Amino acid sequence: MTVPILQGRLRGVKWKVGASNHGCWLGSYEHHKRLAFELSVKEGSVVFDLGANVGFYTLLASVLVGDRGKVVAFEPLPKNLRYLKSHLQMNRVTNVTVMEAAVSDADRDCLFDAGPNNSMGHLSKEGGFRTRVVAIDKLVSRGEVPLPTHMKIDVEGAEWKVLLGGMSVLVANRPTIFLATHGKDIHRQCCELLQSLGYTLEPISGATVDQADEILAYART
């Protein structure tokens, strides 16, 4: 069943019930993160949605960046891609490019585990199918994607390698980053790397950066 999203900047946008958490079409999904995203992304921005899943943040970014902006959505899981493309098509979205790939620190093919649900797929040696894997720096250097102003990263444990594979972009363009981390060690590594590059970190969920599993990282001015 297709319904209109009820709240937020996506109000009225068409959504397939059952694609993901019901909070997506109710407009309550990841409330604090969504509000921070809406405040940060402006018209004309270039947003990379890494781990786009079925497209909630892809659609939100599309609305926020407008006709002058651009969104690149990265997603490897076939089931998610079907929903993602359907959401884009039914809403006649024209400012989004879909990359059927996972993101890490190098270009290669890897095994991917679909996980217990469509939000928990991840790169794994025990994965059930092979997927294309890309590194942000390589894509930008080849001119396949523009330089991002914003990156939303939710990649189920690969976030450290994603940052390593995008180091040149982070240094040169200083994109604002919405980062979900999975595990204390990866969280610490990611925070230390971003701070070493001059980023300021704020918790999106949790009382402090150390306690949070989602952080906002932006370049110091």
CA 74-115-82 angle, 5° bins? 45
Q: What is the pLDDT of residue 115?
A: 65
- Report residue 175's pLDDT band, with 50, 70 and 90 as the boundaries: very high
Q: Are strands 96-99 and 70-74 parallel, antiparallel or unpaired?
A: parallel
Q: State mean pLDDT over 5-33.
A: 90
- DSSP state string for 118-183: TT--EE-TT-SEEEEEE-HHHHHHTTSSPPPSEEEE--TT-HHHHHHTTHHHHHHH--EEEEE--S
Q: What is the pLDDT of residue 48?
A: 98
**% residues pLDDT > 70 (the chain):** 92
Q: What is the pLDDT of residue 127?
A: 67
Q: State mean pLDDT over 84-103.
A: 97
* Mean pLDDT score across all residues of the chain: 91
Domain ranges of the chain: 30-219
Residue 79 is classified by DSSP as H
Residue, of 131 and 39, whose pLDDT is higher: 39
Of 2-6, 19-23, 128-132, 173-177, where does mean pLDDT reach its minimum? 128-132
How far is it, in rounded angstroms, from Cα 86 to Cα 81? Answer: 8
Answer yes or no: pTM beyond 0.75. yes
- Report residue 54's pLDDT band, with 50, 70 and 90 as the boundaries: very high
Q: Cα Rg for the chain, rounded, in angstroms? A: 16
Q: Is 65 exposed, middle or buried (0-12, 13-18, 19+ CB in 10 A)?
A: buried
Whether 4 contacts 11, CB under 8 Å: yes
Q: What is the pLDDT of residue 221?
A: 64
Q: What is the pLDDT of residue 220?
A: 75
Query: Mind listing the pLDDT tens digit for each residue in 105-159?
Result: 998 887 776 666 666 666 667 767 788 899 999 999 999 999 999 999 999 888 9
* CATH superfamily, region 30-219: Vaccinia Virus protein VP39 (3.40.50.150)
Paired tokens of 194: 């971003």
